Structure 1
Amino acid sequence: MRFPFFKKKTKKQRYTVAFYNLENLFDPKRNSKILDKDYTPDGAKKWTVERYQRKLAKLAKTIVNIGEKDHPYPPALIGVAEAENNSVLTALLHTDPMDDLDYGFIHFDSPDERGIDTGLIYRKRFFKVLHSEPLVLLVDNPGGVRDTTRDILYVKGELNKELVHVFVNHWPSRRDGDVATEYKRVIAAKEIVLKIEQIRLEELDPNIIVMGDFNDDPSSKSLQDLKEGAALFNPMETLHIPDSQGSSVYGNKWNMFDQILVSNSFFNYEKNTHSFDSAAIYDDKSLKEKKGKYKGSPYRTFVSDRYMGGYSDHFPVYAMFTFNS
């Protein structure tokens, strides 16, 4: 925390923008169009209404507290990944304590075979949606068969009446190996760069926020391509310490797959604009394993088919913005 001396006290209007991978937020109903059988009462994970409601309560409590050490008010924008459908997001927004904050959300069903999608949750008091659309991500597996992965969610809106372009991502996984699947995430980065180039042809110095679970670290080629190709700033680069700090853990190594990148336009301090302030991982002790070999890592809902009763296998990340009034 900074304590500037000899400075007149001023009232700062601050806003939190967050991203959270919800770890398979499925409802318990069977949907024959997607691979969700495991997340039903009779499925491998014994996903009951009680377990579902317990998870909703944990996620809702977490979301409203993201960034609480830097700002005592709930986030204005929250990008999410691994939400099954409109139903689960509606249920989340109607769960205490989110139900009293007048949140809305944007979501589109994607081609993902498991039915896990991205979404943008926003406080209607601060954010007005002007346009939204899914950007189809066309990538093929070896052999030319399409990888039915998640779309990229694009939302154009006004944050406190300032125009902002938001991209919410959940890039192709590393399931078949990080090197073997790298090209898919490089393609995803290129799609966003192309869209941002189009926006910049239509708008002078636009405000861009790109957030998501990128399944790559800040130093990976895909994120470097995105940062350089779209002229973005990535505050998450300094937060990643592979031996001890990140947003998720795999094989005793910390990853920083969850990131928020911003355009350089957020480094101006003109009246009625937002300025980037700081970024952090929200790794509150309630979200961590308390003991055992996984102590300190994210407190998960499941480990394979074993129910742990936790929150998510990812920590949320967030960025703080100051409104220059």
Structure 2
Amino acid sequence: MAGFCLLAAGLRVRAQPPHGVAFYDADCLYDTVPSPFGNDTRYLPQGEMRWTGERYRRKVMQTAAVIDSLGLPLVGLYGVENESVVRDVAAACKGDYAYLFRTTDSYNGLDFALFYFGDRFFPDRVEAGHFWMTAAGELRGAGRVCLLMSASDRYIGYKIEEHRRQHPDERLLVAGRTAGAEPQRCGLSEPLAAARRAGRGTRRAGNRWEMRSNVLIDTAFRVVRGDVYARRWLFDPSGEAPWATYTRRRYEGGPGANLPVFCYFR
């Protein structure tokens, strides 16, 4: 875990605590039931990954532990197969999270969910499409916001520009795959830019880190802090890479090959 800064237990502020948003790619959280829609044949008990009920329950508990550990009012999640999976994760969370789910009709059957504190965020519009999901509403103390989550670098720039045209009254938060965006041109700041320059990332690719997941924040907000969320229990025994659920087809039993990202803002 060299080069990573662990998140402090709390932020000492005299005024109202900052708002917080996080994003976590759960890395293929399928259930064990054949899907009539997406292609989940690899992740079935008889599939090549030998995905059993016991392995499923372990990953659900690990994903819930990540959400609880983040402890933020907005936690975007990608890589869940269906709402039944999301309900299982919510039930396993110790925090009092509500959730939003929409299917994106992706070929791999993986979708988004938003876990949120119901006394902090009051959603009134939820939309989803191919590799994206948005949730808009009032964030207490911050006004009207919209969280746009993306699993594709290819379409994210277009989705940001479309949102700016259609909803100019909403302050925009973007999470997930953002490499195709032009943040400054779209009125967004990059809270994780310093972490990326320092060599940190969310996923290990050979001998280097990649910032596969990211967070962008509307410039109407002031960023307090943004970084990759690193905890020792999210790393494999070597401490050099996230503890994957699988290495190729070998079951490792970890939460997944990705680290979460987070941002505090005012």
TM-score of the pair, normalised by structure 2: 0.89
Q: Tell me by how many angstroms 1:305 deviates.
A: 1.2
- Write the distance in 2 (CA, Å) between the matches of 1:10 and 1:316: 27
Matched, 1:194 2:158: no
Q: Check 1:286–1:131 CA distance in 2 against 1; reply closer, same or farther (3 A cut).
A: same
Matched, 1:85 2:101: no
Matched, 1:255 2:210: yes
Percentage identity across paired residues of the two chains: 24
Q: Which runs of 4+ in 1 moved over 6 A?
A: none
Secondary structure in 1 aligned to 2:167? helix
Report what 2:253 is aligned to: 309
Matched, 1:277 2:258: no
Secondary structure in 2 aligned to 1:235? coil
- Write the distance in 1 (CA, Å) between the matches of 2:47 and 2:67: 28
- Write the distance in 2 (CA, Å) between the matches of 1:51 and 1:237: 35
Matched, 1:18 2:22: yes
Report what 1:30 is aligned to: 34
- Write the distance in 2 (CA, Å) between the matches of 1:121 and 1:265: 24
- The runs of 5 or more residues in structure 1 that have no matched partner are 2-8, 67-73, 138-149, 173-184, 217-221, 268-275
Q: Tell me by how many angstroms 1:11 deviates.
A: 5.0
- Write the distance in 2 (CA, Å) between the matches of 1:14 and 1:231: 20
What is the total number of aligned residue pairs between the two structures?
254
Report what 1:132 is aligned to: 126
Secondary structure in 1 aligned to 2:134? strand
Which of 105, 127, 133 lines up with 2:99 in the alignment? 105
Question: How does 1:57-206 map onto structure 2 within 5 Å?
Answer: 57-66=61-70, 74-95=71-92, 98=93, 100-134=94-128, 136-137=129-130, 150=131, 152-160=132-140, 162-171=143-152, 185=154, 187-200=155-168, 203=169, 206=170
Could you report, residue by residue, the CA deviation over 1:229-249 in whole angstroms, capped at 9, with x for unpaired residues?
Answer: 31110111111148x421111
Q: Write the letter of the residue equivalent to 2:159.
A: E
Could you report, residue by residue, the CA deviation over 1:277-315 in whole angstroms, capped at 9, with x for unpaired residues?
Answer: 110111111111222xxx421111011111000011110
Could you report, residue by residue, the CA deviation over 1:241-277 in whole angstroms, capped at 9, with x for unpaired residues?
Answer: 48x421111122211121110111113xxxxxxxx31
Matched, 1:266 2:221: yes
- The runs of 5 or more residues in structure 2 that have no matched partner are 6-12
- Write the distance in 2 (CA, Å) between the matches of 1:101 and 1:286: 19
Report what 2:8 is aligned to: none
Question: How does 1:215-254 map onto structure 2 within 5 Å?
Answer: 216=179, 222-223=180-181, 225=182, 227-241=183-197, 244-254=199-209
Q: Tell me by how many angstroms 1:10 deviates.
A: 2.4
Which of 171, 176, 190 lines up with 1:212 in the alignment? 176
TM-score of the pair, normalised by structure 1: 0.74
CA contact (8 A) 2:32 2:45 kept: yes
Report what 2:9 is aligned to: none
- Write the distance in 1 (CA, Å) between the matches of 2:44 and 2:171: 41
- Write the distance in 2 (CA, Å) between the matches of 1:12 and 1:286: 31
Secondary structure in 1 aligned to 2:87? helix
Superposed CA RMSD in Å reads: 1.9
- Write the distance in 2 (CA, Å) between the matches of 1:168 and 1:32: 25
CA contact (8 A) 1:133 1:153 kept: yes
